[in-house]
Amino acid sequence: MELYLHIPFCKKKCRYCAFTSFPGQSGKMEPYVDALIREANQQKPFFPEKVETVYLGGGTPSLLPEALLSRLVQGIGEVFSLYDVAEFTAEANPGTVSVSWVRTAATLGVTRFSFGMQAYSEKDLNTLGRIHGYRDVCEAVSLARDAGADVNLDLIFGIPGQTLPDWRQTLEKALELSPDHISAYGLIPEPDTEMDRRLKSGEWELPDPDVERAMYDLAIRLLAESGLKQYEISNFAKPGKECRHNIGYWSQIPYLGLGLAAASMTPPLKASAGVTYQRLTNPDTFEDYFRLVSGPDSSLRTVETVSPPEARFETMMLGLRMAEGIREDRFASLHGISLQQAYGNKLEQFVRDGFLLWEDGVLRLTRKGMDFQNQVLVDLMP
């Protein structure tokens, strides 16, 4: 099982951010940490499995004062054993970390820091609404290294006004820091964000799709040349440094999410036509979340039952994101039906069209297929 802890506090809302996060709410930090621990106790009977990975995400977890960070990790550790987890990641904004915070996190068991570098140039960082600069990233990486932890850098391409040389510079500056892992995401303007409003008003304009595709190709090439192998559409790592927590999501490993808007997935249950499981989603306001953990009023938590056909589709959608693809034997073992039986004619057509490669019992996207992944998935939807 995997464990996700959501920290919804931030210093300033980034212009592209649609995550559940709130600036100016530091007064809620202490009761929120206590609520997370209460929720962990409430959910333990329904998620009894051993925790393999932990992910502290946000928001900006590095805004939590060290005393509250300690209370949180120690409190959760009394519910779920975190002593020998395989991986413990903490997200951090490079503009908010300190020597003592990184040391405290590492002492509490954090083995991996994920820093939101996003871009190198001040122009691109200002467009995104970030509060840090490249010097902050350098200092944050140095602190993580001194603490003996692995480092991921999040990068964004396709930013309004960003050029291919801008993106090359971002990649090169990130690689100068020798990270163990890089996540490179194409910008997706989310509804109701400042980014989306400025694009719709015509004030900003996204790069041409051909330029964005060239940015992605450049990332694949430069990162590979530096020893960071692509193991998922947006993720690159040195050998053995892949993010185990995210691989768990893509492999449909059960997970428990604690906190505002956090999602959980129950262990799969055998059904007559395959497997089914439930996806639980917490409320996204402090008021409703505090009510949930005080009651608990289960009606405040959204419950979705995933049908066998939907579960099969999710295996396809998540598995095709990974470079290793989908193994036929694992698909059949999980769903009680073969890939051929489930999707045969459609898959064969995609193979002929050059979108998929199907050999040695494994189905995976081709490089061409990565660019048209959505088209492939739409045709596979139940």
Of 233, 262, 232, 228, the closest CA to residue 244 belongs to 232
Domain boundaries, the chain: 2-248, 320-382
Q: Which residues contact 245 (CB under 8 A, 6 or more apart)?
A: 2, 4, 53, 54, 55, 87, 89
Residues in the chain: 382
pLDDT tens for each residue of 45-82:
999 999 999 999 999 999 999 999 999 999 999 999 99
pLDDT tens for each residue of 149-191:
999 999 999 999 999 999 999 999 999 999 999 999 999 999 9
Q: What is the pLDDT of residue 371?
A: 86
Residue the block writes with tokens 């996540």: 183
20 has a pLDDT exceeding 90: no
Distance CA 148, CA 376 (A): 42
For domain 2-248, say whether CATH 2.40.30.10 is its number. no
Q: What is the pLDDT of residue 270?
A: 84
- Burial degree of 63 (CB within 10 A; 0-12, 13-18, 19+): buried
Token pair for 379: 């045709």
Distance of CA 185 to the CA centre of its chain: 11
Residue the block writes with tokens 């709130």: 22
| pTM flag (> 0.85) | yes
When pLDDT is averaged across residues 134-140 and rounded to a whole number, the result is 98
Beta bridge partners of 363: 326, 358
Q: What percent of the chain has pLDDT over 70?
A: 99
- My answer on whether omega of the bond before 8 falls inside 30° of 0, hence cis, is no
Q: How many CB atoms lie within 10 A of CB 286?
A: 16
- My answer on whether omega of the bond before 259 falls inside 30° of 0, hence cis, is no
Distance CA 241, CA 183 (A): 12
